[in-house]
Amino acid sequence: MIKSNRNKKSPFSNLHHIAIVVRNMDEAIKFYTSIGVGPFRDYPPLKEYIKLDVPDEVGFHNVKIKVVQIGPIQIQLIQPGEGKSHYKDFLEKKGEGVYHLGFVVDDVDDSEAELKKLGLKVLSSGRREDGSGFSYLDTAGKAGVVLLVRQSPGAKKKKDK
């Protein structure tokens, strides 16, 4: 359990997105737009990651992601492609649905280290040249979904005082 500290917030304090794995991106977008959710846009290219710890880089780079902003929360639709990925495993074992909740943090490396100290295992991670990036945590067994921490590209790391 994450202990609160008055001077430091939990890495799970700022929800950024909900990621939903789908079999067919076009059909999913067609449905969502038919009920008034949209417009969807392409997620930025994943090739900007210079350091990856993923099951298969081919699978990582072949995923299709479309996003829509709804208020302060982004919804990501994810369709796995060729190669291995956690998304493909999820789709094959459980079918379509919410795979992860993504939280914005000031410093992804510090947050990952803090979460490891709490006993959470990192499933996969990626970093950009500026040090920003993501870490997926093995939380589905206890939280019902995978939790992810992410530092946005270009975001300067903030240190607690």
Question: At 155, is the pLDDT very low, low, confident or very high (cuts 50, 70, 90)?
Answer: confident
Residue 96 has what pLDDT? Answer: 98
Question: At 68, is the pLDDT very low, low, confident or very high (cuts 50, 70, 90)?
Answer: very high
Higher-scoring residue by pLDDT: 91, 8: 91
**Is the pLDDT assigned to residue 4 strictly greater than 50?**
no
What global pTM score does this model have?
0.90
Q: How far is residue 64's CA from residue 116's CA, in Å, rounded to a whole number?
A: 29
Residue 157 has what pLDDT? Answer: 61
**Residue boundaries of the structural domains of the chain:** 15-151
Question: At 161, is the pLDDT very low, low, confident or very high (cuts 50, 70, 90)?
Answer: very low
Tell me the CATH architecture of domain 15-151: Roll (3.10)
| Beta strand spans in the chain (E) | 15-21, 41-42, 49-53, 64-70, 73-79, 97-104, 122-128, 133-137, 146-151
